Structure 1
């Protein structure tokens, strides 16, 4: 079974609206496959080989309390009453494969599977044939059409959609590199989340995951549907992204498939826990295994690959905040993502996202002590021309001068300018998202020292002629001296300052987003670290949405009150569970309703 943007790898992309090519009975010969068609019968310790459908059965999961099944067009008209009498409580039904194949029996199987209690749909992925985005779109359309509904929400309570990841027709990994495969899965997953509100479940096994993704650890948010046919009581070992499994396909049918010879599955939990997987949460999470992977996921959730000659990606240090503070505002203003690197290397997740985006230009934020010349050279290969002139750097002699250099990207005068301390990040985290907006609140964010405005920043203020300057943070962060100096450059100087960084984020939001036109989405970041919020600033800015700060274990009172005032349709948590706990995510979900 398998979580945003199109990567056309291998063959030509097929339109998501193309007429489906169906067959009376889908078989490997005509291009249709059922879930597990290429999985090996024994323990997955070597690369999978094409597996016969009459492989010996195994029953390691049969003792688990919640039993289920999965079916495809191979199974024809399924005897659902018999399945229910056999103790099956859930089913997954194949809906599509790639962008051309559908399950001719989907409507009957979908309707009948509902009688078991819980059901969901799956797609067989074809990563080397067309983009992840187009295949995700095609899957959603086929489910909605087959279920005779006009929207995913009209399906009611359904289990998470599943992406079946197995061997290609001629090669195990569809002629994709590991980085390309990770990017393809990301694009599929993000599109599914956008279209359904549910995180995609990934069907795979350890050997395929190792061979084709390089043991990517970036998909832990997706429920794992593991394929392993064994007499053991558990399906361990698991692929590297997961510490636990959700669904286990533990037995394939012997002999030819028929309405009563479906695949046997089990759920890792009780029936109440299974039921909880059918809900569409208003709060979702964008998180990678680390800050670099999270920034890549944020980019993938928002930005499509760039056309020839177009697109800029901004690169910032994932270990130092000042340059990204100022750069996030400019990136959002110019409809561009911010991706993170170390001082000496481009992390794999960043490599994969750059490959997917294929920008014309890359701009490094900060000097060579923050991001070395070796990284600048390595980034050349990710531009369309793969040439040094298309990787440039915005850098001054210090963080204050660098922020002024970044502000040169804003050419409109008479707008808003934001000033934040260059010595700490909390107050500016939420301000960067507002500065990154495309509307009236858009403007450069420049850094100041406690003792005053630097010459470089003053020069930009003179050039920009702002109508308003907004100071982010209290007088301990942005001094009264700075406020007095700022008044020389703008007729209005306003300060956004709460008693804590959390209250400041709530104040910035309430001062920017009126109750009459609230944002549909709110982004949430932890207030005790900077990477996730800084990568999220241009994403939130493009969505005209605020970034509010929470602790890892709780929601401060004023932040909760601001969420209650905004009543957003959705909340996006930035970062993993070590940054913001699942308990906080659950509380946020309640505040969105």
Structure 2
């Protein structure tokens, strides 16, 4: 585990070594091709640079802070659940046709972080998933200490976070989780709520969709004061690596997505949509 609290147990030691080499190679290519591409600017003044966007993905901080569990609370899923997963460039080239053949029907993939970092595999993932038949969506890894929510939303929408009513595109998603040196990125609960509202409202203004929010109950309670302000509009993507999803953040009576494991039959993290495929199509079409 690095000093940012990122889980390093995604593979054997040789795999981690190879991944590290690949990461260094990818970083070198990024800096040669586009100097500064791996650090976030602060267009609104102040803020902090992104520590290591090449190591950030949905859930990259979760096990270090919350671990894995064999059980949890009493929230019951719908009778039918649809299988899916989420990826970033960390997974390398994804076999989309193989994942579809194994039963996955949706995927979220990292598009951006901060206001300068674009996931180098996003375009390939977005196109590959579409061609394989997936309903897919893009997510933004939030760095609330580096720039405003609106600035990051603008960057996200401009680089993959848009939406179209084509039956294939899920709502844009905000991935907000533990900070590298401060659980709440150095923000007070009030400041965090302001940042999230700024991001959510800007995405809605640019796409007409309320963003999906990915988080954990523990982080949400600690860093937002367990606000219920977004539960009426924004679908919840809850992260909890256990056999049950447990207690949800305030206001949400159910989860829309659940990241229930960080490894499994599919590439990346293992996810459920809380309903049948028809419900997933309704979500994609905003119906």
TM-score (norm 1): 0.37
1:269 is the counterpart of 2:269: no
Structure 1 unaligned blocks of 5 or more: 1-17, 42-47, 145-150, 282-593
- In 2, the alpha carbon distance for the partners of 1:196 and 1:173 equals 27
Question: 1:333-344 to 2 correspondence within 5 Å?
Answer: none
Rounded to whole Å, the distance in 1 between the matches of 2:81 and 2:257 is 12
Over residues 546-579 of structure 1, what are the superposed CA-to-partner deviations in whole Å (9 max), with x where a residue is unaligned? xxxxxxxxxxxxxxxxxxxxxxxxxxxxxxxxxx
Secondary structure of 2:187's aligned partner: coil
1:57 CA displacement: 9.8
Of 149, 153, 159, the match for 1:132: 149
Within 2, Cα distance between the matches of 1:236 and 1:152? 31
- Corresponding residue for residue 30 of structure 1: 52
1:278 matched to 2:278? The reply is no
* Equivalent of 1:247 in 240, 252, 257: 257
| Distance verdict in 2 for CA 1:82–1:157, change over 3 Å | closer
Q: CA deviation at 1:253?
A: 2.1
Q: CA deviation at 1:31?
A: 2.9
Equivalent residue for 1:97, pick from 90, 108, 113: 113
What pairs with 1:314-393 in structure 2 (closer than 5 Å)?
Answer: none
Q: Which has the higher contact order (CA 8 A, sep 6+)?
A: 2
1:171 and 2:182 aligned: yes
Residue in structure 2 matched with residue 68 of structure 1 by the alignment: 84
* 1:445-487 Cα shifts (integer Å, max 9, x gaps): xxxxxxxxxxxxxxxxxxxxxxxxxxxxxxxxxxxxxxxxxxx
Residues 189 and 86 of structure 1, relative CA distance in 2, 3 Å threshold = same
Q: Pairwise mapping of residues 332-481 of structure 1 onto structure 2 (< 5 A)?
A: none
Contact 2:163 2:170 in 1 (8 A): no
Aligned residues: 236
1:227 aligns with 2:243: no
Instruction: Name the SS of the counterpart of 1:245 in structure 2.
Output: coil
- Quote the Cα distance in structure 2 between the aligned partners of 1:244 and 1:133: 27
> Runs of 4+ in structure 1 displaced over 6 angstroms?
55-58
After superposition, where does 1:297-308 map in structure 2 within 5 Å?
A: none
- Any conservation in 1 of the 2:258–2:272 contact (CA below 8 Å)? yes
**Residue matched to 1:415:** none
Cα offset, 1:129, TM superposition: 1.2
Change (3 A) 1:215 1:106: same
Alignment partner, residue 123 of structure 1: 140
Distance across 2 between alignment mates of 1:138 and 1:19? 17
Structure 2, gaps ≥5 residues long: 1-33, 40-49
State the distance in 2 between where 1:177 and 1:266 align. 32
Q: Distance in 2 between matches of 1:156 and 1:68?
A: 16
Cα displacement string for residues 420-469 of structure 1 (whole angstroms, at most 9, x for unaligned residues): xxxxxxxxxxxxxxxxxxxxxxxxxxxxxxxxxxxxxxxxxxxxxxxxxx
Q: Distance in 2 between matches of 1:223 and 1:128?
A: 24
> Which whole-Å CA distance do the structure 2 matches of 1:131 and 1:214 have between them?
20
Counterpart-to-counterpart distance in 1, 2:199 and 2:139? 13
Contact 2:100/2:134, CA 8 A, preserved across alignment? no
Looking at structure 1, the residues matched to 240 and 210 of structure 2 have their Cα atoms a distance apart, in angstroms, of 22
Contact 2:134–2:168 under 8 Å retained in 1: no
User: Considering only CA atoms, is the larger Rg found in Structure 1 or Structure 2?
Assistant: 1
Matches within 5 A, 1:553-592: none
Take 1:127 and 1:199, find their aligned partners in 2: how far apart are those partners? 19
Cα distance in 2 for partners of 1:211, 1:240 equals: 12
SS of the residue 2:147 aligns to: coil
